Structure 1
Amino acid sequence: MSFSMTPDEFEAAVSDALDNVPDRLLAMMDNVAVFIEDRYEPLPDEDPHTSLLGLYDGVPLPERDDGWAAGSMPDRIIIFQEDTLAACSSREEVIAEVQITVVHEIAHHFGIDDETLHRLGWG
């Protein structure tokens, strides 16, 4: 199972997924940038075959204190193109998976954990 898509097509899928997030929710996000990278590179202590579709790298809003903003780099949401395409077999599946992944990573920014996201169907 794998689907081919150009980088521009994949970027459009990510952009569309972000456009589908309610404006009120996007307005509550603070200091977050969204990136697309080719593939997830497993950490040294991870299985070298680990594959992720997305990653939230930052400090969730509920964990930030008053001194957090001083010199802080933006949080990052990373969507991994090759890993996503490898997990999908059609354009529709890629679009759906990107939407789920974008919402999933935004939820982490708001402090929602994986267990809760899986229970809600956004795993």
Structure 2
Amino acid sequence: MRFNHPPSVEDLQELAETAFAAIPEQLREAVRGTAILVEEVPDDATLEALDLQHPWELTGLYRGTPLTEKSVLGVAAEPDMIFLYREPILVEWIETGEDLFRLVRNVLIHEIAHHFGFSDDDITRLEGEG
């Protein structure tokens, strides 16, 4: 997708769905059914919980119980969700010149990998696949 204007929340939602289909299959299958939501910026409660000063510091967030902490007998309080934050993603896109599709794909990979407790080296390797 090429944009002649700043992509809207709806544009990024469509791009995220396409990018999700392009992440490594092992990750995609493991989080099947996880909602992907695009919002303008993280809310104040999220920023405070993560001790962040500015909303542009956070491009994405996996909200849910990490797989390393889930129990077979446990019941999730709320469904797992991946949040992508439009403004911080666009700021990074402009600052780095990175392809927007690749950037969104890498944010998704990064957030899913956190869910599995992957190391930074593992995440870097996964981002390089595909």
Q: TM-score range by the shorter chain?
A: 0.7 to 0.9
TM-score (norm. length: structure 1): 0.76
Match of 2:7 in 1: 5
Q: How do 1:1-123 and structure 2 match up within 5 A?
A: 4-29=6-31, 32-41=34-43, 42-43=47-48, 46-50=51-55, 51-68=57-74, 70-89=75-94, 93-113=99-119, 115-117=120-122, 119-120=124-125, 122=127
Deviations 1:8-35 (A, max 9, x none): 2211211111111244532222662211
Q: Does the residue aligned with 2:99 lie in a helix, a strand or coil?
A: helix
Q: Name the % identity.
A: 25
Residues 118 and 103 from structure 1, CA distance in 2 versus in 1: closer, same or farther, beyond 3 angstroms?
closer
Question: Contact between 2:9 and 2:38, CA under 8 Å: does it hold in 1?
Answer: no
Q: CA deviation at 1:71?
A: 4.9
TM-score, normalised by the number of residues in structure 2: 0.72
Q: Is residue 9–residue 39 contact of structure 2 (8 Å, CA) maintained in 1?
A: no
What SS does structure 2 have at the residue aligned with 1:43? Answer: helix
Task: Note the residue ranges of structure 1 that are not aligned, 5 or more in a row.
Answer: none
Contiguous gaps of at least 5 residues in structure 2 = none
Structure 1 residue 116, shift from structure 2 partner: 3.3
